[in-house]
Amino acid sequence: MNPPPQIIEAQIDSRHLRVRLGSGITVLMPLEHVPTLLLATDEERAAMEVFDHSLHWEALDCDLSVEGLLAGSKEMPGLARKAFEKFFARQYGQVAA
């Protein structure tokens, strides 16, 4: 089995994640697929760490692999739930559970 292509560059904004791979493929993923990133602050999203085959956001406890990006995988509901709780706590001043 071949290893996944290496990440050459990654950019994120409030709506999309764009990842350019060494294979020549560019993945453009809407953040609706990853509520943790969609609901994060600009500062949290900007704290992206780029590794050879994955992306990581320490403060968000969020990781995306090249394999998942190429497969079009969406965030699991249990992980997204934590992001919704944090977002609503930030918006409405409630304490997240």
Q: Express each pLDDT in 11-67 by its tens digit.
A: 999 999 999 999 999 999 999 999 999 999 999 999 999 999 999 999 999 999 999
Q: Kindly state the average pLDDT of the residues 69-79.
A: 90
User: What are the structural domains, with CATH classification, of the chain?
Assistant: 7-92 (3.30.2020.40)
Token code pair at residue 10: 């990654």
DSSP 74: -
In this structure, the chain runs to a length of 97
In sign, the C-alpha dihedral spanning 72, 47, 32, 81 is: positive
